[in-house]
Amino acid sequence: GSVEPLSLQILLLLVSGSFLGFQWLFHTGSPWVSQNLCKGFLNLSPTERTEWKSRAVSTVHALLVGLFCLYIYIFDEAIQKDPVW
C-alpha cells in the first residue's frame, strides 16, 4: 500500500514542534545536562558554550535522523525490495 501524504496542519505541527524542541534543547536542555555532567562547561567562554551547545544539538539531531533511517531501512517494503534505489 501507498502512504497518504501528510496534511498541511500535521506538517506545520511537526515542523513547529521540531523547531521548538531543538530550541529548548539548545537553550535549556543541553546547558543543564552539560553543567551537571561536565564541570568544565561552566569555565567555557560564552562563545565556547554556544559552540558546545550547537554540537550537542547537532549530535542529538544526527542520532534521531539515523534512527529514522534505520527504521525505514528495516521496515519499509519498497526499501527491502530494492535498497539501492
84 falls within a domain: no
φ and ψ of 64, to 5 deg: -65, -45
73 falls within a domain: yes
72 falls within a domain: yes
85 falls within a domain: no
82 falls within a domain: no
The number of domains in the chain is 1
The CA-based angle 85-65-34, given to 5 degrees, is 160
50 falls within a domain: yes
> Domain span at residue 59?
5-77
**pLDDT per position as a tens digit, 52-76:** 999 999 999 999 999 999 999 899 8
The CA-based angle 31-32-36, given to 5 degrees, is 110
The percentage of residues in the chain with a pLDDT greater than 70, rounded to a whole number, is 96
Confidence at 82, pLDDT banded by 50, 70, 90: confident
HEC string for 19-42: HHHHHHHHHHHHHHHHHHHCHHHH
Q: What is the pTM of this model?
A: 0.79
Q: For residues 56 and 25, is the Cβ–Cβ distance under 8 A?
A: yes
83 falls within a domain: no
64 falls within a domain: yes
